[in-house]
Structure 1
């Protein structure tokens, strides 16, 4: 859950700024963001996890060595959050970009006409107005994030799937432990859907024609 929540929140931050960059950034920013979202969405997530986990750590330590700093040993938790966040960020960028484009343009134009600062427009108008359009896609990304943590077992991180496999291998009770793990994932999904439903209904209050 720590990895899922941390990675998801990091992905949201990346997605928000990525969407703004794609919509309002310069040509270079838009091109770089397009490459980022295309590559991450095209390459299988397992391959991305292996690349980011091993190559990312190696690249960071090489850069530190060039700056005469000692190499760092990145914890599995931090690495897991970073990896999931980078993957989530590419998908969040497209979800949030589509949600922002769904906002009636008159709302933003009226705010600019009153000379409201861009940061305040984002906080008071853009984000609240886009939520009804973004929540369905972002809720799917949250459920994907909870399941993507299982892929971190391939790099030896001790999360639910790896621990389940170890316990099943030790006791030979494969059916028991994997059914228990599946039940836990299902419980997380059901609780998440209930909470997301409440959030979605609250975000749609007073909006006509948003289904």
Structure 2
């Protein structure tokens, strides 16, 4: 049987610390790291899987799906992860949803481990996109310690890869990019404070201000390193 497999990328969530060997999932795709949210607060990772190229087969109602993943967390903390698949029609309307987890601290008996979760069924007819979403929920502590690994979505029919046609870029080519860090200062104490920070405000008014960019953790060293790690960005 042919399968179409999509795996969650590590694009927006920090790759985390290794779990002890006996607590890691036993899979045919061993990894040295797993998905976790490094800072505090909730976070999410979404991936849209385009299945429109096999629409005629899907509309028979006989195409099966299998969603699986290892989900878990740290010790008695109830930080947790949910993996879901939402089936969308060509207009983006929801036809159905399947959800794995969350795996709570009670499910884990207050130990650090990952538990296997799976869901199977048939795709709703008229499905053209499957939105796979990984949601991290923070309950407390200095980091969000919900873990996920070996995430997989497979279909019972092959799905040809869609042809991607990126639109022409209108972003200018920059000669230099400068990043200004304000050490130990609140945003509101700098931006708008033209009396004490006139030069910074002049630069801000003439350029771009990132209003939804937040610190990773404290102390400040990780905040300097993180933006330059290719696989990571703040969520």
Do these two structures clear the TM 0.5 threshold for a shared fold by scoring above it? Answer: no
Greater percentage in strand: 2
Greater percentage in helix: 1
TM-score bracket relative to the smaller structure: under 0.3
Q: TM-score when scaled to structure 1? A: 0.24
Q: Which has the larger radius of gyration?
A: 2
